[in-house]
Amino acid sequence: MILTNHHLASRIQASFIEMNDAITLRKVVTNQSIRVENLDVFIEDQHILKDINLTIPEKSITCIIGPSGCGKSTFLKTLNRMHDESPEVKISGKVFVDDNNIYGPRVNVIDTRKKMGLLAQRPCPLPMSIFENVAYGPRIHGVKKRKVVNQTVIQYLQYVGLWDEVRDRIRTSATRLSIGQQQRLCLARGLAIEPEYILGDEATSALDPLSTKKIEELFVKLKAKYTVILVTHTLRQARRIADNIIFMYLGKIIESGPTEEFFNNPRKQLTRDYLSGSFS
């Protein structure tokens, strides 16, 4: 029994490494970065984001922190144009993704969103089987061949470490999974559309500590190939996994910088107050 398990594990390990290589080969991405210039966002008459200018370095984890209502989530939504659905949101400024302004004329919103894999606060599996959840993205983006779809699904389920847990019930409802498993499924689903960026909107705030740890480990693994941008409430999480920190307060960027520097030597008084817990 132990032998079989060990055998299985090593086989999975092998396929895992193989698959990682496959992804690296397939994704030849150059100049992945996000540059924001003079971004202002208004919701009705409220000025939510005020003159945001920043560059998000590629292939790293950038955490956006700040108290509730500071505009973190609003900012994240401007990156994949999810504000398009709300006519009361007015946006001015430029957001360059791979050197293309996504708010410029003649931009295909679908293509923009396809570049961004979004992981929401609460996992929201689609009303389909586990398999179809991951297969959905590739299918709507034109992957027809069953073999390719199957491979993609298995690859990404393995990538998020869910394959072994669900391989026997791949055709059952995604809702039967635990909430932590659902969140990993949502990550696999997002990865299956082959994005370049991963956006996480407090992606672990609904999860238990163990599931949180798994998702965090995945983020760290992901930064080898993707640019990861996370909004988080927990300073400790930011400190654990981020390479760079952006601190926002009342719609403005107060301070940003590499994690160590940010936490050890904050330059602004406001940052020091926030880090010491004077306000949250």
Partner 1 sequence: MKFLEEKIFKVIMICAAMIILGVLVYIIATVFYRGLPALTLDMITKLPGGGFYLGKEGGVLNAIVGSLYIILGSLTIAIVISVPLVMYINFYLPARSIFSSLIRFSLDILFGIPSIVYGAFGFALMIFLGIRASLLGGILTVAMLIMPIMMRSFDEITRLLSRDLPDALLSLGSTKYEMVKVILRQLMPGLVTAVLLAIGRGIGDAATVLFTAGYTDNIPASLNQPAATLPLSIFFQLGSPVEEVQNRAYASAIILTVIILILSFAARYFSSKFSKHKI
Q: Which residues bind partner 1 (CB under 8 A)?
A: 80, 82, 85-88, 110-111, 113-114, 116-118, 120, 122, 124-129, 132, 136-137, 140-141, 173-175, 186, 189-190, 193
Q: Please state the closest distance from residue 142 (CB atom) to partner 1, in A.
A: 11
Q: What is the DSSP-derived secondary structure letter of residue 4?
A: H
Query: Which residue, 112, 73, 18, 42, is CA-closest to 230?
Result: 73
Quick one: tokens of 215? Answer: 């998702």
Q: Is 107 exposed, middle or buried (0-12, 13-18, 19+ CB in 10 A)?
A: middle
Nearer to partner 1, 86 or 92 (CB): 86
Nearer to partner 1, 101 or 121 (CB): 121
Q: Please state the closest distance from residue 85 (CB atom) to partner 1, in A.
A: 7
Residue 65, beta-bridge partner list: 247
Q: Please state the closest distance from residue 189 (CB atom) to partner 1, in A.
A: 7
Nearer to partner 1, 226 or 274 (CB): 226
Nearer to partner 1, 41 or 174 (CB): 174
**DSSP secondary structure of 229-259:** EEE-S-HHHHHHH-SEEEEEETTEEEEEEEH
Residue 257, beta-bridge partner list: 245
Q: Please state the closest distance from residue 76 (CB atom) to partner 1, in A.
A: 11
Q: Please state the closest distance from residue 264 (CB atom) to partner 1, in A.
A: 35
Q: How far is CA 202 from its chain centroid?
A: 9
Single-letter amino acid, residue 79: L
Nearer to partner 1, 23 or 120 (CB): 120
